[in-house]
Amino acid sequence: MTIAERDAKDFDGQLVRPRWLYKQWMLAGNPAYFFEMLSREFGDFVHYRGLFQFYLINHPSLVKQVLQETHEAFNKQSEIYNRFANVFGGGLVVSEGASWRRQRKLIQPLLGPKSVERYFDGMVDSINRMLNQWELARADGRVLDVLLEMNRLTLEIAGRALFHDRFEERAHDIERWTHEINLYCAKPPLPIIRSIWFPSRRNIRIKRTLRDFHRFMQEMLDRQRSAEPCGSLLDVLLQSKHEESGKPMSDAEIRDEMLGMIIGGHETSSAALTWVWYELGKHPDVATKLRQELKTVLGDEPIRMEHMPRLRYTRMVIEETLRLHPPFWFENRNVARDYELGGRKVPKGSLIVFSRYSLHRHPKFWKNPDCFLPDRFDPDALENPRSRYASIPFGGGPRVCIGIHFATLELIVAVSMIAQRFRLEIDTSDRHAMSAKLTMTPSHGLRVTCHRP
C-alpha cells in the first residue's frame, strides 16, 4: 500500500462529543494546550459544543483531506478568517476562488525555489550586520533577547526583499503594527465584537494601525513608481499584469499582498529561529553535531548558495524545530457543503479546526513525540516513510505557504551563519513558557549570552 493510499484509509476512529462547554475556560488561557487536551482526552475527531462550536481534527488523513479539498468542499469563509479579512483585505491569505487563483498565479513564480536565490546576498548581508553587533555584546557579556533580535533580523530580510532598501526608517513602526495585528487576529471572534465597526479598544487600535500601515504602503508604492527598477517584490508586482485581462494590479491589491507577506513572512520566521536557539541551548549534543557539519561544509569560509544542498543536518534541525514549535500553529476552515469526513456527515457552515502543535506531537505518528530528535528527519532514517501530513509547518494542498522556499533558505542561512560564529547559551533560570497567539513564541522572549563556538 502506498503512503497516499494508507493516508486515505488510515482514520478508523470515532467522532466524540464532549459535554457542552467542556473545560471552555482553558481556551482563554493557552488555546494550544486546550486543543491538545481535547485530542488527548477524546481522540482525533472531536465535535466541541460551547461558546464556539467546531470539529477538531488531529489525524494526518483528515487534515490532508481538508487541506487538499480547500476551494471545493472547504473554504476560508469562517468567522476567524472573516476577522482576518478586516486586516488582510483581498490579499492571498484570505481571498477565495477566482481572485485567489489569479493572485497566486501571479506571485508564485516570484517566490519559486530558483527565484528566491536572488535574495540570498541580502540575507547574508543583514545577518552579518547583526552578528557584528553581537560581537560587542559578547565582549561585554551582555544578555540579548534572541526573540527580539530574530524579529528585527527577519523584518529587515523581508523588508529588503519586498521594498529593496527604503523601508528601514519605518522598521520600528512596522514592528509595532505587526504586533498589534498579531494580537487582533488572535482574539476569538465573539459574535458582537467581531465587526471592526464595534467601538472596542482593540478595534480602535487596529483601525489606527491599518490606517498608518496603508499610508506607509502607499508611500512605498508611489516612491517605487518614480524610481529606477530595483528587482524588489514591490517593483515586480508593480510591473506585472494579470494573465487574462492584461491589466496591472491595482494599488489596493498590491498593498494587501505586501501587508500579508510582511505579517506572514517575518514573525513566523523569527519564531522558528528563536525556537532553534532554544532547542540547541537545551541539547548541546545536537549543537555540537550541527557545528561539526558547518566546519566540514563551510570551514571558515563565508556561506554561498552552493553550500545549501550539503547542509543536511542543519536542515534536519530546522525541520525538527518546526515540528515541535510550528510558528503558525492553528488552522481552520469553513465547510462549504455537507461533507462526509472520517465516515461522519459534517454539515455545511460548520467550523473545522486543527492545531499543528498537537498534530505534530501525535504519539501514533512519532516515537517519543515530545523529544527533540533531528535525526528523525534524516531522509534515510527508519522512521520514514511516514505520512507527509504528520508534520506540516507550511500547510499543504493548494494553499500551502507561498513563502516556503524563501523561509527555508532564510532559516538555513541564518542558522548556519549564526552557529558558525557563536554558541548561544540560554538562561536556564527562565521558565520559557509558550505563548500561542497568531504565532507560537516563548512568552517572555529568550535571554541568551554569546560565546565563541
- Footprint on this chain of ligand HEM (rule: CB under 6 A): 92-93, 104, 111, 260-261, 264-265, 268-269, 272, 327-328, 331, 393-395, 399, 401-403, 406-407
Would you say 42 or 163 has its CB closer to ligand HEM?
Answer: 163
Shortest spacing between CB 118 and ligand HEM, in angstroms: 13
Would you say 268 or 420 has its CB closer to ligand HEM?
Answer: 268
Shortest spacing between CB 152 and ligand HEM, in angstroms: 16
Query: Residues 140, 434: contact at Cβ < 8 Å?
Result: no
Query: Residues 258, 217: contact at Cβ < 8 Å?
Result: yes
Would you say 159 or 393 has its CB closer to ligand HEM?
Answer: 393
Shortest spacing between CB 319 and ligand HEM, in angstroms: 11
Would you say 210 or 414 has its CB closer to ligand HEM?
Answer: 414
How many whole angstroms separate alpha carbon 397 and alpha carbon 109? 17
Shortest spacing between CB 86 and ligand HEM, in angstroms: 16
Would you say 237 or 402 has its CB closer to ligand HEM?
Answer: 402
Would you say 251 or 319 has its CB closer to ligand HEM?
Answer: 319
Shortest spacing between CB 403 and ligand HEM, in angstroms: 2
Query: Residues 63, 81: contact at Cβ < 8 Å?
Result: no
Shortest spacing between CB 400 and ligand HEM, in angstroms: 6
Shortest spacing between CB 397 and ligand HEM, in angstroms: 7
CB-nearest residue to ligand HEM: 403
Shortest spacing between CB 69 and ligand HEM, in angstroms: 12
Would you say 102 or 386 has its CB closer to ligand HEM?
Answer: 102
Would you say 294 or 407 has its CB closer to ligand HEM?
Answer: 407
Q: What angle do CA 429, 415, 447 make, to 5 degrees?
A: 20
